[in-house]
Amino acid sequence: MQDKVLILDFGSQFTQLIARRVRELNIYSEIHPYNSKKFNVADFKAVILSGSPHSVRSESAPQPDLSEIKGKLPLLGVCYGAQYLAHFFGGEVGSSNTREYGRANLSFVAPSETLFEGISEGSQVWMSHSDTILSLPSNYKKIASTHDVENAAFRIEGEETYAIQFHPEVYHSTDGAQLLENFLVKIAKLKQEWTPDCFVDTTVNSLKEKIGNDKVVLGLSGGVDSTVAAILLDKAIGKNLHCIFVNNGLLRKNEFSSVLKQYEGMGLNVKGVDASARFLSELKGESDPEKKRKIIGRVFIEVFDDESKLIKNVKFLAQGTIYPDVIESVSVTGGPSATIKSHHNVGGLPDFMKLKIVEPLRMIFKDEVRRVGKSMGIDAELLGRHPFPGPGLAIRILGDITEEKVRILQEVDAIFINGLRKWNLYDDVWQAGAMLLPVNSVGVMGDERTYEKCVALRAVESVDGMTADWVDLPYKFLQETSNKIINNVKGVNRVVYDISSKPPATIEWE
């Protein structure tokens, strides 16, 4: 069993970053709301207290029960966590006179502290707090200050309890990773054994144990998460994993056949179901984006249900759910609020939804999914694929959908995406695609006047799709792509490039 770190969350926007930084040290970490009853302290070797939008001085301040933690396990308080350790144990926290946001530089009071090994005097740290620690309890020892923050770091003598006012988890804290490593490895003595290979071994074993000889059904989408989940399950239960890959007729050009082949090449027990005609017929005449999404969602469930009924005695439904989808969040207005969605209403559920759920990736982040995929030998091209929306080209064809429009957009999209690959731009872009606009415009080809479709190309950079900016693609590339599209795709005589950021625009046009 690997060593684990408990991260008690008080609602900070940076809590997930703490977990990621810890895992980058090859140490497993879990986030739990500060007042959750769903974890057992005895399972953990060290604890980190997160920041919080709350003030320790407000009535609604989160007050964790640390009786099983403080003085018993190595403990690191970050920002609110540090203020909590000061304020509720005899120190004083008040509002600060100067702004304490952004860059600051460490000045060591106790430079020989293990917490600071390998970190130089003046190291840049990132602050984000409005309260400040005015005085420390008597058995506490100040170990670093900054220009504006007297008690920027301190420890409790006789305990392995440390606290820092700044955020080591953000990249702007230059030696943040070193500080976390010092705390976790040198002070708390945790082993750095949580590697992708180790994740694969433990996950495969626990899947074997959970599933036994039962059958599992899983919907493959061509995306990274469902693929990695499938390969893990395949390692655990082999042919008892039944994958279903549905063609909704709205995938990229040739994607259904090429991805299906790739899946078969990986040895997966996969069935490709071409339901394009059914999807396109149900979508006929519909132009409202939300209604299009609903139709696609409903038809997918019907198709998946029909297919899973054909597999006898299935007990489990596997999903590619990842950690950000399941972390319970602490609400800023009060106690922890569960954000976990529930599909369970009595009756009326498709048969496959009545199955037991298995989610091999539910404790790992997206970048970790990719690393796990890599360690299992999944093709780098598949792991590096841009995100693609579930409703596919349906939300990139503005207005109603016809087979002809799908064909036109698939051609345009293929020229654009292949061009990005050819120009080595694909990996610099987070997501790219083409939109078919519901307007015709006048053009001239040879001596003839044309009146044809306009397409918009979109390429964005982003981290999580929540915000995004358009990519400054080279003019030469845009020129070549536009020429290729207009010369090769019948029905298109105009190409534009979308230069809107999100917000205020969105990535997709519908």
As annotated, the active-site residues are 79, 167, 169
Q: Which is nearer to ligand XMP, 85 or 429 (CB)?
A: 429
Please identify, using beta-carbon distances, which residue of 188 and 432 lies nearer to ligand XMP: 432
For the segment 276-335, give every residue that binds ligand XMP (CB under 6 A). 293
Cβ distance 411 to 404 under 8 Å? no
CA neighbours closer than 13 Å in the CB half-sphere of residue 487: 7
Question: What is the Cα–Cα distance from 439 to 217, expressed in whole angstroms?
Answer: 43
Give CA angle at 431 (428, 433), nearest 5°. Answer: 120
Output the CA torsion 341→342→348→352 (10° steps).
90
Asked if residue 506 binds ligand XMP (CB under 6 A), the reply is yes
Q: Which residue, among 317, 323, 383, has the nearest Cα to 356 in the 3D structure?
A: 317
Residue whose CB is less far from ligand XMP, 94 or 324: 324
To ligand XMP, the closest distance from the beta carbon of 391 in angstroms equals: 5
Q: Distances in Å between the alpha carbon of 49 and those of 18, 105, 165, 298, 415?
A: 10, 22, 11, 43, 50
Helix %, strand %, coil % of the chain (to 5): 35, 25, 40
Distance CA 98, CA 129 (A): 10
- For residues 485, 487, 492 and 494, what is the CA-based torsion angle, rounded to 10 degrees? 70
State in angstroms the smallest separation of the CB of 502 from ligand XMP.
Answer: 5
User: What token pair was written down for 46?
Assistant: 């060290």
- Closest CB to ligand XMP among 187 and 393? 393
**271/502 with CB nearer ligand XMP:** 502
Binding mask 427-446 for ligand XMP (x = CB under 6 A): ----x---------------
Taking CB under 6 A as the criterion, which residues in 367-426 touch ligand XMP? 387, 389-391, 395
Q: Which residues contact 288 (CB under 8 A, 6 or more apart)?
A: none
d(CA 33, CA 13): 13
Supply the minimum distance, in Å, between the C-beta of residue 293 and ligand XMP: 5
- Find the binding residues for ligand XMP in span 171-200 (CB under 6 A): none
Region 444-503 residues binding ligand XMP, contact defined as CB under 6 A:
465, 502
Residue identified by tokens 């509002």 is 95
Number of residues that bind ligand XMP (CB under 6 A): 12
Segments of 361-477 assigned E as strands: 431-445, 448-461, 469-470
How far separated are the first and last CA of the chain, in Å rounded? 47
Under the binding rule (CB under 6 A), the answer on residue 255 touching ligand XMP is no
223 is a site residue for ligand XMP (CB under 6 A): no
**Least Å distance between CB 285 and ligand XMP?**
20
Q: Least separation, in Å, of the C-beta of 124 and ligand XMP?
A: 33
Give the nearer residue to ligand XMP in terms of CB position, either 168 or 391: 391
Which one of residues 149, 241, 432, 507 is an interface residue with ligand XMP (CB under 6 A)?
A: 507
Looking only at residues 66 through 125 of this chain, which bind ligand XMP when binding is defined by CB under 6 A? none
Write down the least CB distance from residue 419 to ligand XMP, Å: 20
Q: Which is nearer to ligand XMP, 211 or 296 (CB)?
A: 296
Q: In angstroms, what is the minimal distance from the CB of 395 to ligand XMP?
A: 6
Q: Can you read off the two tokens belonging to residue 228?
A: 């990695």
Q: Give me the residues that bind ligand XMP (CB under 6 A), please.
A: 293, 387, 389-391, 395, 431, 465, 502, 506-508
